[in-house]
Every structure is written in C-alpha cells, then in structure tokens.
Amino acid sequence: MEKLLNNLEKEAMTIKDNALRLSWYMRGGVTYEDILNMSPHERETISKIVEDNLETTKKSQMPFF
C-alpha cells in the first residue's frame, strides 16, 4: 500500500511540474488551473507543440524568450 501511495504521489508531482512548465511556456494563454483540468492527451499534445516550437526556434535562431 505504501508503495502505491508513493507512486501516486510521484505521479501527482510530475503532473504539477509539467502543468507549471506548460503554463509558463504559454505565457498566460493557458493558466495552471486550465492545464490541470485538461486530459492527459491534451497536456501531451500541448507539450509536443511547445517542443516543436522550441526546435523551430533553435533552427531559425529566432528569439524565443
């Protein structure tokens, strides 16, 4: 039981960490709460979009921040 709780706690912390990072990258376009209310698939899709945009920015040498 303790192992299960520890795994759930780690999973929750990972979700929160990812939500905070995504809300930062979205620069107010999507709030932390909005991201937490999204499905795992929606969060994964937004993460992929952010990764793609970061890669494009690196290749084009355009400023991202």
> What pLDDT digit, counting tens, does each position of 32-60 carry?
999 999 999 999 999 999 999 889 988 99
Instruction: Confirm if 18 and 38 have CB atoms less than 8 A apart.
Output: no
Q: Where are the alpha helices (DSSP H) in the chain?
A: 2-25, 32-36, 40-60
Instruction: Confirm if 54 and 47 have CB atoms less than 8 A apart.
Output: no
Q: Which residues contact 26 (CB under 8 A, 6 or more apart)?
A: 35, 46
pLDDT digits (tens, 9 = 90+) for 18-39: 999 999 988 889 999 999 999 9
Instruction: Confirm if 35 and 10 have CB atoms less than 8 A apart.
Output: no
Write down the pLDDT at residue 65: 63
